[in-house]
């Protein structure tokens, strides 16, 4: 790269080009990322490296498959009426009391996040159970979206999966063992803080948004104008049918974990199996609509974002920008390293997703704290990276939550979600700062 520019200059010019194309010219994110990647390769004197562009496009293909599978499962639950039946059972079991309804509606989102390890997939697949339940007790769209996004993020941080933590652990060659307690120490307080926050003032904070919709008898009536299913959606039997597909996918995940099965079906396949389990409840004409909604709109846009992010990360590696960022991250000295990480990782993740931030900055950051327990390093850094789920322009969990709810904006979600996410940021920083003292307790 004798004729190419210094990686720091390439990085600065790439940021300027990104801001100009996306903010000033209003180019869509995927096209902006591709243009920035090609420009960075040219500035680095690599021409147009087609091989790297193609390879990078497949960098996050596993996440893209999980995204579409989660969208398929969620659409099957919604259009079959399973989500409505489950919501009715939740509200009836909780007696319409706010905190029990929040806990029962948030549990599926948290549980799916645990086993998928990706907040966006948990939002798409399990968020549909929370939407009708929270509407029935008077929550507005943006608040419902914020609650779903926070619970999905808490589930993503929890064991056994946590994809951001796995990416960091793989980069530092750390075995995936003894990490459950540190991750639970971060995820469970976040979930508890979310329940307390949204129960305490969830219905009191429209914050300028449009008024809450009145409690609905059925989302199916709202979306399709169909009568409620025969046999009584209000019955316990209908509620059990609604939860059956969710119970199936959770049972498969649990069985795989406790049995050390030789065959370990991937999360996308499990979600597809769970979605197909709702076929008996789905009107025949609705299946085409399920497929169209799965592979169009917001899921397709975010899949394009993930694909283009993979291209950009590949080009960052090729041009040396990634290595330059690694060197800079490892050269930060305490106490400046802590605020640097708390600001830098979410900002980078907001542009490149939490997964890319974990891969690009999480690994060198973990090495920069090599003198303390690496398990706690990985857990804390994955939690810091997960804050990017609410940071524009990608803000994947927040954007998908608005899509699932059918209302609200990312800005409204952020204004409602920041208190529990601030709790997570504080816990993650405390774990990182006091890792030596906590090592004997949490590992």
pLDDT in tens, 138-155: 899 999 999 999 999 999
H helix and E strand count, the chain: 22, 0
Q: What share of the chain is helix, strand, coil (3-state, %, to 5)?
A: 75, 0, 25
Provide the pLDDT for residue 351. 86
Provide the pLDDT for residue 370. 84
When pLDDT is averaged across residues 384-397 and rounded to a whole number, the result is 94
Provide the pLDDT for residue 211. 41
Determine which of 61-65, 230-234, 300-304 has the lowest per-residue pLDDT on average: 230-234
pLDDT band of residue 257 (cuts 50, 70, 90) is confident
Most confident of 145-154, 212-221, 261-270: 145-154
With 0-12 / 13-18 / 19 or more C-beta atoms within 10 angstroms meaning exposed / middle / buried, residue 172 is middle
Distance from chain centroid for Cα 429? 20
When pLDDT is averaged across residues 148-170 and rounded to a whole number, the result is 95
When pLDDT is averaged across residues 368-394 and rounded to a whole number, the result is 92
Bigger pLDDT: 396 or 332? Answer: 396
In this structure, the number of other CB atoms found within 10 A of the CB of residue 19 comes to: 11
Provide the pLDDT for residue 205. 65
**Residue 204 neighbours by CB under 8 Å, 6+ apart:** none
Q: Are 149 and 413 in contact (CB under 8 A)?
A: yes
pLDDT band of residue 209 (cuts 50, 70, 90) is very low
Given a cut of 70, whether residue 10 has pLDDT beyond it is yes
Given a cut of 80, whether residue 180 has pLDDT beyond it is yes
Provide the pLDDT for residue 337. 78
Provide the pLDDT for residue 439. 87
Given a cut of 70, whether residue 136 has pLDDT beyond it is yes
What is the rounded CA–CA span in Å between residue 104 and residue 99? 9
294-312: pLDDT as tens digits: 999 899 999 999 999 999 9
Given a cut of 70, whether residue 272 has pLDDT beyond it is yes
pLDDT band of residue 204 (cuts 50, 70, 90) is low
Indicate if the alpha-carbon torsion angle 169, 251, 190, 344 is positive or negative: positive
What is the rounded CA–CA span in Å between residue 408 and residue 133? 17
Given a cut of 90, whether residue 380 has pLDDT beyond it is yes
Q: Are 357 and 322 in contact (CB under 8 A)?
A: no
With 0-12 / 13-18 / 19 or more C-beta atoms within 10 angstroms meaning exposed / middle / buried, residue 216 is middle
Given a cut of 50, whether residue 25 has pLDDT beyond it is yes
When pLDDT is averaged across residues 89-97 and rounded to a whole number, the result is 88
The whole-model pTM stands at: 0.89
> What value does the mean pLDDT of the chain take?
87
Provide the pLDDT for residue 264. 59
331-361: pLDDT as tens digits: 766 666 788 888 889 998 998 899 989 988 8
Provide the pLDDT for residue 27. 93
Indicate if the alpha-carbon torsion angle 279, 280, 285, 286 is positive or negative: negative
Determine which of 151-165, 190-204, 261-275 has the lowest per-residue pLDDT on average: 261-275
Distance from chain centroid for Cα 315? 24
Bigger pLDDT: 425 or 242? Answer: 425
Closest CA to 359 of 176, 166, 180, 179: 166
Q: Are 128 and 278 in contact (CB under 8 A)?
A: no
Closest CA to 145 of 436, 430, 443, 395: 395
Q: Are 142 and 412 in contact (CB under 8 A)?
A: yes
CA dihedral 406, 409, 410, 416 (to 10 degrees): -100
pLDDT band of residue 283 (cuts 50, 70, 90) is confident
């Amino acid at each position: 790269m004798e004729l190419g520019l210094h990686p720091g200059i390439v990085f600065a010019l790439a940021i300027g080009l990104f801001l100009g194309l996306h903010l000033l010219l209003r180019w869509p994110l995927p096209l902006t990322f591709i243009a920035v990647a090609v420009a960075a390769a040219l500035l680095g004197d690599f021409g147009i490296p087609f091989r790297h562009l193609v390879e990078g496009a497949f960098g996050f293909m596993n996440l893209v498959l999980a995204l579409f599978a989660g969208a398929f499962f969620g659409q099957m639950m919604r259009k079959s009426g399973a989500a409505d039946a489950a919501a009715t059972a939740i509200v009836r079991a909780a007696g319409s009391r706010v905190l029990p309804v929040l806990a029962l509606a948030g549990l599926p989102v948290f549980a799916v996040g645990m086993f998928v390890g990706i907040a966006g997939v948990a939002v798409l697949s399990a968020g549909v159970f929370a939407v009708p339940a929270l509407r029935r007790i008077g929550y507005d769209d943006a608040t419902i979206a914020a609650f779903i996004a926070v619970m999905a993020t808490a589930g993503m941080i929890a064991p056994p999966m946590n994809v951001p933590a796995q990416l960091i652990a793989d980069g530092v060659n750390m075995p995936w063992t003894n990490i459950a307690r540190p991750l639970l120490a971060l995820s469970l307080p976040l979930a508890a803080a979310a329940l307390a926050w949204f129960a305490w003032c969830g219905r009191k904070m429209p914050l300028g948004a449009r008024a809450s919709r009145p409690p609905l008898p059925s989302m199916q009536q709202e979306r399709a104008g169909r009568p409620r299913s025969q046999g009584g959606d209000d019955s316990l039997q209908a509620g059990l049918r609604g939860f059956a597909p969710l119970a199936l996918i959770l049972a498969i995940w649990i069985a795989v974990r406790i049995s050390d099965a030789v065959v370990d079906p991937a999360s996308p396949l499990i979600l597809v199996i769970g979605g197909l389990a709702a076929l008996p409840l789905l009107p025949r004409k609705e299946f085409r609509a399920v497929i169209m909604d799965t592979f169009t709109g917001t899921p397709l846009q975010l899949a394009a974002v993930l694909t283009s992010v993979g291209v950009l990360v590949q080009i960052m590696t090729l041009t040396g920008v990634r290595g330059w960022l690694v060197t800079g991250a490892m050269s930060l000295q305490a106490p400046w390293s802590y605020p640097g990480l708390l600001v830098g990782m979410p900002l980078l993740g907001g542009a490149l997703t939490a997964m890319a931030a974990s891969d690009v900055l999480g690994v060198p950051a973990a090495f920069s704290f090599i003198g303390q327990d690496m398990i706690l390093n990985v857990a804390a850094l994955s939690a810091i990276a997960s804050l990017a789920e609410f940071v524009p322009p990608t803000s994947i969990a927040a954007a998908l939550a608005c899509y699932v709810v059918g209302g609200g904006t990312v800005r409204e979600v952020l204004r409602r979600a920041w208190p529990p996410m601030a709790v997570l940021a504080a816990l993650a920083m405390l774990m990182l700062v006091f890792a030596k003292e906590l090592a004997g307790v949490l590992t």
